[in-house]
Structure 1
């Protein structure tokens, strides 16, 4: 039996989508206080050597075939790019005739070794949550030396050379980035990155929703402002 885990296939824009997690536990370059997965015991931004994945690939192939998946969404426990087998996983999926979407927080897309892997994918999802350096450091607790400016620049530089579809997910958090000044800053970030698609999200996890969630009315208002940027 393989070490990957899956969610039920769903339909998105007419395509059958299979979500897959390729990490046994959380490996991430951030340690966000509101992460639904929990604390980052493995705080890394370099590739980690995982076990042989032959059994996992066999299982993945059977799953793609049995579900008739047209798009495989690599949405893992943390930063999927740190799995040293991810290049092989992407190649395997594409060899099965399915497209690949990869979720990355986006910070390490500025590095050549990760850019090469990401460039193989048909779709990349990058994301942003905090919009000031102070809150970025305090709330997302990145690896030492990371800056918000570099975070944004890495995604912008990646997308400039990327030939696939870049999806930019923005999470609106009450008290952190839901004010007018923050919205205007996010608009500037959108223009700099120039994504193909924008997703506006909010805190949905019940553990954080009460304190950090915003009202339906404000969410709709902000969504219109950002989507019509």
Structure 2
């Protein structure tokens, strides 16, 4: 009998809602291999869905947790790209059947593909992200699957947002030397206008292993946040 492999964060309150955060991958499966990823290197760099032993048990465990904790929102935030679990539709079905809202975190690259767009469309909220602003930095620091481009990355999120009826949250992580310079704010504003998210979250690298090389000061984060949220 296969054990459950889902993992959870402690229940927390966000904007008055009880949130249960769940990882639905047994290990890191991702279409990127970011230098600053807190999980480490991608042993499985892919954009094709996979089956994982133990998913049935994991889904039963998720339902038990929903019944026991009674959250308002289930946040699918995984070790890598959650869309790559081939049972994600079943997971969303379960959450919806229990009357709960679903938030999906994705790096956003796959949102332009019809098969993944359909899955994300079923969620009440979708979070996409952006970290760098040049093709060179995208290839060097986010190490995507060969053939991926930054322009397509942004256009995929914009295409998804144009047809999405739910709430799209755009998370921008400011990287020192990549997205914190004088011209970065105007570039980011243009991208925000193209994607037209419902909410913008501006963050910085907080992992101590990467802070020295990639993190900006709180003061600079505040400056950039004010400029971006102003639009």
TM-score, normalised via structure 1 length: 0.98
Shift in Å, 1:2 = 1.8
Query: Which residue of structure 2 lines up, in the alignment, with residue 208 of structure 1?
Result: 210
Offset, 1:53 = 2.1
Is 2:181 aligned against 1:184?
A: no
The residue aligned with 2:41 is 39
Give SS of 2:183's match: helix
Q: Which residue of 1 aligns with 2:20?
A: 18
Between the aligned partners of 1:52 and 1:71, the Cα distance in structure 2 is 24
* TM-superposed deviation, 1:52: 4.7
Q: Which piece of structure 1 moves more, 161-170 or 49-58?
A: 49-58
Over residues 78-113 of structure 1, what are the superposed CA-to-partner deviations in whole Å (9 max), with x where a residue is unaligned? Answer: 000010000110111111111000000000111111
Q: Is residue 69 of structure 2 the alignment partner of residue 67 of structure 1?
A: yes
What is the TM-score when the length of structure 2 is the normalising length?
Answer: 0.97
The answer to whether the 8 Å contact 2:7/2:24 transfers is yes
* Superposition RMSD in Å: 0.8
Structure 1, unaligned stretches of length 5 or more? Answer: none
The answer for unaligned runs of 5 or more in structure 2 is: none
Superimposed CA distance per residue, residues 95-135 of structure 1 (whole angstroms, 9 cap, x where no aligned partner): 11110000000001111110110000000000000111111
Q: 1:15-164, aligned counterparts within 5 Å?
A: 15-164=17-166
Deviation at 1:65, TM superposition (A): 1.4
- Cα distance in 2 for residues equivalent to 1:53 and 1:213: 37
Question: Of 212, 223, 230, which residue of structure 2 is paired with 1:221?
Answer: 223
Deviation, 1:57, is 1.4
* Structure 1, 83-92 or 44-53: larger mean CA deviation: 44-53
The number of equivalent residue pairs is: 229
